[in-house]
Amino acid sequence: MTIAIGDYGFYSAIRDWDRGDVERRELLPAKVEGLPDPGRWMHATAVRDGRQRIAEGIRHLFGRAECPTCASGFSVADAYTSANLPPALETS
């Protein structure tokens, strides 16, 4: 599964070598008032600096996704964090 946040859209999908991203499911962005830190700070900074597209991406990063295969929902930021822990901090 892949998560896209950017110029190609905001979605989760299965990445197929020949067909590209298939079975896309739109991401559900976090509400601005519900953003946790550091997301709240990042969003406010992007808005202050007139970077609306970045602010929108931050809302999606801290939002929710759905697995295209099993339809389970999950936090995009939490999934990214757990998948990228340094080896000393990995959980079994």
Residue 61: name the closest of 8, 15, 18, 11 by CA.
Answer: 11
> Hey, what long-range contacts does 69-77 have (CB within 8 A, 24 or more apart)?
69/1, 69/14, 69/23, 76/3, 76/5, 76/27, 77/39
Phi and psi at 36, nearest 5°, equal -80, 165
pLDDT tens by residue, 20-54: 888 999 999 999 999 999 999 999 999 999 999 99
pLDDT for 77 equals: 93
Q: Where are the domains of the chain?
A: 2-84
Q: What is the pTM of this model?
A: 0.84
